[in-house]
Amino acid sequence: MTLSPPVRGMLWMLAQTTSMCAMMTAVRYLSFDGFSGPQLVFFRGIMGLLVLLPWLLHTVRYEPKILAPEQWKLVMWRSLISVAGILCWFLALTGMSVSDVTAVQFTHPLFVVVGAALILRENVGVWRWSAVVIGFIGALVIIRPGYVPFNPLIIGILVSAMSNASVQLITKHVALNISGAVLIFYLNLALVPVALILAIPDWIWPSWNQAGWILAVGAFGTLGHIFLARGMKVADASLLGPVDFMRLPIASAFGWILFGEYSDAETWVGAAIIFMAVLVITRREAMRKAS
């Protein structure tokens, strides 16, 4: 039986979501062994390069020109912004549950709308601005400033979400001319030296028992990008976007089974509010493209 393109796209997106949750779980597990956020980012970068090594060898031999894109400045900025976002993301995972980090990161599409309006000068109507406001109210429900002790790591998650939004906007600009593999390669290439420099003061030599978890950080992180690219190739982004919200129950299941962690009711309510806001944004985007 042949699956329709929308169904195949949603399955690829579900695979991407599961891969990212698996990577986050591996990062969380290694943080309990004392590894710092920068060292975990270094593992992410070096293992990602190893996963891409067969592609790199083939490209250097047969298609070396694609490694020198004309829009190299945008590729550089994309990589550096990604490095900052991943550092903040992994730092948060060393001190917060996987599900809580995931819930706050759902603000990422809201920052995309703000960036599209302020940076790309796109016309953002009242519906999408209203959805952004409602989405940030959902974030406040999760953070609850003044009602629970403020966790500074939440700032790291919000910075990560803003970074992801910026990266998405740059990717939208260069995607027609630069392949996803090239973007992922340069991202991992930037991660390695920056993270290594920051990791040296608190460096811990890993044991063989931790090798599988370290490999999982890089492998699942890289596979997530590949699955996302394949999903976007066969289905519309407006259809696949809401599938990403499966990340919260999947992340919660991983956190509960492996670490006994769980989110409170307010976190789920806030995440639901953000989900509804993002659903409005994706639907309005689909209607705008259809008109």
Whether residue 192 has pLDDT greater than 90: yes
| Percent of the chain at pLDDT exceeding 90 | 26
Q: What is the pLDDT of residues 244-263, one digit of tens each?
A: 778 888 888 888 888 888 77
- pLDDT score for 10: 81
Please state, in angstroms and as integers, the Cα–Cα distance from residue 170 to each residue in 16, 52, 129, 173, following that order: 20, 22, 21, 5
Domain that holds residue 83: 5-290
| Residue 1 pLDDT | 61
* pLDDT single digits (tens) 38-79: 999 999 999 889 888 998 999 988 888 889 888 888 889 989
As separate numbers, helices (DSSP H) first and strands (DSSP E) second, the chain gives 12, 0
Element (H, E) at 165: helix 153-174
pLDDT tops 70 at residue 109: yes
96: left (phi over 0), alpha (psi -120 to 50) or beta: beta
Global confidence as pTM: 0.84
Instruction: pLDDT band for 240, please (50, 70, 90 cuts).
Output: low
Q: Tell me, rounded to whole angstroms, the distance of Cα 216 from its chain centroid.
A: 16
How far is residue 231's CA from residue 238's CA, in Å, rounded to a whole number?
Answer: 12
Domain count, the chain: 1
